[in-house]
A and B are shown apart, each in its own frame.
Chain A
């Protein structure tokens, strides 16, 4: 085996080459860093100035629709479009129409279509979002295709754009995806449904939940959770039907969480004795909202439940019921044989006094 004993040694040469290559790379990366930093600074300065100008102009144009618009520099077009989307999301009502008109006059519709097809993902995402806000019906098919793509962020952005273009048709197109795609984050789906508005979502959402319930109750449960965004009176009949037709604990919990009419208390009460503690806990919580003083005895018995959350929700429910004050709560605690129940009453009483 050769030893490491001379400059002519093959290993020494290899190591020397590595050291040289390392030094060259350090020099190259350092230079790159400096060039990138300089370029970034210059670009940022120009971009900030330009977007500030456009922002001011867009705001002015809300008052005077004939405000002249300068040509859009291609290089910063995506940044200007971002500024427009930001403003569009901040505003509500009639004024958004004026903002859309200005955008069309500035050529943002063509730009958005072009960007939605670009290779860079962030440009594509901005383009998709803009197409939605501009209600570009011509891009419908393209957006539908993207909504079915595998990439969750892109597909969800396209689904949202479809809803922006046409609420009814958009919801019809995306609801099957909402029901089936586990990779769409619930918080983002909820934002999409909020954009559609509470009334528009009821019919497609309840239908999708009813269709999903027999085969995939977990998906149905997720759809039911979105129903808190809809008017409770409209969703309640559907939720009652769902809860009556299932034995799935997750779906029952989701349904109980949504029910908010006093009439629904009778639907909820049987679940106070459900074998799964999360269902008992949710039922106790719902009874706290919908129940009456007549529910106190069964809730009091739940104060001795083995599950902490059931005891907690039962105590909270009792404290929320009408005609239950500190004196009644102290009475319930004093008469309860279970020390955990007494502790829980004390806990909730202190919590309420503080809150």
Chain B
């Protein structure tokens, strides 16, 4: 075999990989559009006032908090005003080293509570439980630091209700978000988990812990993430949800059937991607047991969160996500193309492994290979440019169609200026941002291979939830 043959063969591999990736994404987009249309039509009667009956399942909102003193009080105040008939809130202070607990005690006049704590999932020791006399549905658990998964498990142990909602402390829900995300559980008893749509709160107006006006961030890095989140939640997860193959529910906002999660062993504490790992494990266990179940995405249930505006923080977040992805897939490897794998094992997992897990390696190697091939004269510059244009064009196309779908279905960003900014971001994100992400994710892949350990992600908070603009 000559060098020319190797180059030709490699070119083929990259081209086939690239085409397969685009076909997958476009298929997901079509599935998502179909699902979105059906859901919006079915929700026609939900907007009328007499749809409540008192038979809605009560929900426990579990808010793990680690060094969240900047946002926690505003976040909690908004949670206490949600439109839902029955819910409780459990904040788990996971051994914060800042004044998170003191802030909570001061802001909500918490008093110690002699909780008969029910230890169903193993956790780090609880140091104390507090209740707010003015808010009987609010409890605060103070425990030794054990990571986000451990904090969530502590909250699940203390949960009184059949459904629990995991919610990041730096996130804000819309008043009707809980109502919307719980709806699939009311409509279909086989639903065991539901994920909401996470959107960046940067650039939005927040008052009293509630988002009062949507807007786009001025920071270009955050703006690019708006389109990225839109693409990920709107067509990625919604498309997978259509075939019951969704492998991830964001830790920022998801609702689970508590007993199913407890029976599965709760969140795993030995992975950085505890949210995805739980969902993949739920798929695996339900399929192994031959149970009928559904894991769904609820596009109209929105949660707003602060996204990183600094390259360092973003890099660290993406490295963690990539490591979490690897953990989730390898820890549940038996789901992959297994006898009972179904759509998650035969479609979602292989596609995720190929394009999301090892995808960054292929992408970065592909870029490097193309550069070397051009320099060495193995590729004509003309061909390389065409290949780049095709990749760029299809990437932009996916983003533009997502912006279109989001605008038609939800019309979140109302001004023309915002629309043009989103279209601009759809183009620009393919010129550097996507490649930068691929590099960071490759770093995550390599870090995981080396086996270095990580815990809670550190993000410099700007307290966007407190701000008036």
* A interface list, Cβ under 8 A from B: 1-7, 9, 11-12, 15-16, 18-19, 21-23, 25-26, 29-30, 32-34, 36-37, 40, 82, 85-86, 89-90, 120-122, 125-126, 129, 152-153, 157, 182-183, 185-191, 194-195, 225, 308, 311-312, 340, 343-344, 346-347, 350-351, 354-355
Is B80 at the interface (CB under 8 A from chain A)? no
**Cα A47 to Cα B188 with chains together (Å):** 34
**Nearest chain B residue, comparing its CB with the CB of A195:** B50
Given known A5-B380, A308-B116, contact A12–B386 (CB-CB < 8 A):
yes
Please give, as numbers and ranges, the residues of chain A lying within 8 Å of B133 by CB-CB distance. Answer: 354
Please give, as numbers and ranges, the residues of chain B lying within 8 Å of A191 by CB-CB distance. Answer: 50-53
Task: Give per-residue flags for B112-145: 1 if the beta carbon is below 8 A from chain A beta carbons, else 0.
Answer: 0111101000000000000101001000000000
Task: Give per-residue flags for B382-397: 1 if the beta carbon is below 8 A from chain A beta carbons, else 0.
Answer: 1100110110111011
Q: Is the CB of B116 within 8 A of A15?
A: no
Q: Is the CB of B383 within 8 A of A1?
A: no
Please give, as numbers and ranges, the residues of chain B lying within 8 Å of A26 by CB-CB distance. Answer: 393, 396-397, 400
**Cα A185 to Cα B8 with chains together (Å):** 58
**Nearest chain B residue, comparing its CB with the CB of A17:** B390
**Cα A37 to Cα B397 with chains together (Å):** 18
Given known A18-B393, A185-B187, contact A30–B423 (CB-CB < 8 A):
yes
Please give, as numbers and ranges, the residues of chain B lying within 8 Å of A5 by CB-CB distance. Answer: 378-380, 383
Q: Is the CB of B411 within 8 A of A40?
A: yes
Please give, as numbers and ranges, the residues of chain B lying within 8 Å of A308 by CB-CB distance. Answer: 116, 118
Please give, as numbers and ranges, the residues of chain B lying within 8 Å of A15 by CB-CB distance. Answer: 15, 383, 386-387, 389-390
* Chain B 259-288 residues near chain A, CB threshold 8 A: none
**What are 30 A-B contacts with C-beta separation under 8 Å?**
A1-B8, A3-B5, A4-B378, A7-B380, A7-B383, A9-B380, A11-B11, A11-B15, A12-B383, A15-B390, A16-B389, A18-B394, A19-B386, A22-B397, A26-B400, A29-B400, A36-B407, A37-B416, A86-B47, A90-B49, A121-B41, A122-B41, A152-B187, A182-B189, A186-B186, A187-B56, A188-B187, A343-B116, A346-B114, A351-B131
Task: Give per-residue flags for B12-33: 1 if the beta carbon is below 8 A from chain A beta carbons, else 0.
Answer: 1001000000000000000000
Is B291 at the interface (CB under 8 A from chain A)? no
**Nearest chain B residue, comparing its CB with the CB of A307:** B118
Q: Is the CB of B50 within 8 A of A36?
A: no
* B interface list, Cβ under 8 A from A: 4-5, 7-9, 11-12, 15, 38, 40-42, 44-45, 47-56, 111, 113-116, 118, 131, 133, 136, 186-189, 373, 378-380, 382-383, 386-387, 389-390, 392-394, 396-397, 400-401, 403-404, 407-408, 411, 416, 419, 423
Given known A3-B378, A12-B386, A343-B114, contact A30–B48 (CB-CB < 8 A):
no
**Cα A195 to Cα B392 with chains together (Å):** 56
Q: Is the CB of B400 within 8 A of A33?
A: yes
**Cα A344 to Cα B115 with chains together (Å):** 8
Please give, as numbers and ranges, the residues of chain B lying within 8 Å of A90 by CB-CB distance. Answer: 49
Please give, as numbers and ranges, the residues of chain A lying within 8 Å of B115 by CB-CB distance. Answer: 347
Please give, as numbers and ranges, the residues of chain B lying within 8 Å of A312 by CB-CB distance. Answer: 116
CB distance from A314 to the nearest CB of B (A): 12
CB distance from A99 to the nearest CB of B (A): 14
Given known A3-B8, A4-B383, A7-B382, contact A18–B45 (CB-CB < 8 A):
no
Q: Is the CB of B390 within 8 A of A18?
A: yes
Q: Is the CB of B44 within 8 A of A6?
A: no
CB distance from B257 to the nearest CB of A (A): 15
Given known A26-B396, A191-B53, contact A36–B408 (CB-CB < 8 A):
yes
CB distance from A22 to the nearest CB of B (A): 3
Please give, as numbers and ranges, the residues of chain B lying within 8 Å of A11 by CB-CB distance. Answer: 11, 15, 383
Please give, as numbers and ranges, the residues of chain B lying within 8 Å of A346 by CB-CB distance. Answer: 114, 116
Chain A CB within 10 A, most for which of B42, B44, B115, B387: B44
